[in-house]
Amino acid sequence: MHQNKSFNQTRVILVRHGRSTYNEQQRYQGCCDESVLTEQGKQQAFQTGIALSKINFDAIYASPLKRTQETAKEILRVTNSSVQLHLNSNLKEVDLPGWQGLEYKYVRQELKEEYKTWEKSPHEFTIEKTEISGQTLIKTKTKPVLQLYEQAKSFWQEILPRHQGKTVLVVSHGGTIRALISTATQIQAHNYHAIQQSNSGISIIDFQNTFSSNARITAINLTQHLDEVLPKLKNGKHGLRLLLLPVNLSNNQANCNLGKLRSFLKQVELNFCFTHDIYDTQLIIESIINQSNPPFILQVSRVDFLDIWHQQISKRSLKCNELNTGLVIANTNMISSLLSQALGLNSATSLQINSGELSVLFYPNCQSKPVLQAMNITEIL
């Protein structure tokens, strides 16, 4: 279970909207308002409301776009409905004029150079925006991701002083949530794609005071309430997926989590298992792995083996046409260091890594930059 917040701590729970019509059609949405929730999206939002139903929210904010308003209303059906829903324009999705409504496949094939910049250097991605002033069309070049980061900063500056020590629910969009997490913890815009946000995925940030740069990420992209064992990979993705398990054998809560992980992981096919040899590896593996065909197991003695591994993988593009999943068992500091490197954080203090709770780091095929799919997965929110 994720730890309770302290008395003067502000907790912000971030939820992406449920699956939408443009998600279903594999089209770019941006900040256009043509996309609405599908029936599946409404069900996801309702399930999210059930998962959050025991939390007493002091304030609820949502993007004014239809798909987020619909999501918030479904959540409110089963949560603290006495709290008023506030719409905030700073929670709109990244503005992608010219791409909005286009199919992903079309953009990848017909706008190759733009798409390459979007994927590799999102902070440098530029797109043309057309505005009408009287009877004149004015075309300007904008950097959508940088604008989104400024938008996120404005949101924090507005709401944090207003709700110090409270619990706030924010319903927004995938890109916007990444920008909110990033600006709260000083993740730079060139790592904009480093965090995954699934439809109706839940993330949690805790602030110690009203300054948005003094925040700690408590959880990222929890999807177990949607009956997803692990967050789904995007279509056509292959590569290396690491299930990172921090273990402290003296921690009773961690030992309890290990027992729960056995049933949690039985649906996941593991190709290998790496462990740091300071632990009783066999005991841990027997506690959580119950496959008829156990994975290849390797003990590593170097304390910095995860850092070295990450550095080596990041220097090259993977050449694999399938998904390989490995369980990595190490101490909390080692895993925190690895995730900090993946996100480009200067300090691991921005991450609250909990012993016995899985995080998922994915290295896509032919892409050196990893994606943090989830952090601190637990069965109980």
Contact 345, 187 (CB under 8 A): yes
Contact 39, 53 (CB under 8 A): no
Between strands 85-87 and 59-62, the pairing is parallel
Task: Please name the residue that has the structure tokens 């619990």.
Answer: 167
Output the six-digit token pair for 357.
């709770």
The single-letter code of the amino acid at 4 is N
Rounded Cα gap, residues 163 and 143, in angstroms: 31
Rounded Cα gap, residues 111 and 276, in angstroms: 45
Q: Which residues are catalytic?
A: 17, 93
The single-letter code of the amino acid at 220 is I
Rounded Cα gap, residues 326 and 270, in angstroms: 6
Task: State CA 377 to chain mean position distance.
Answer: 11
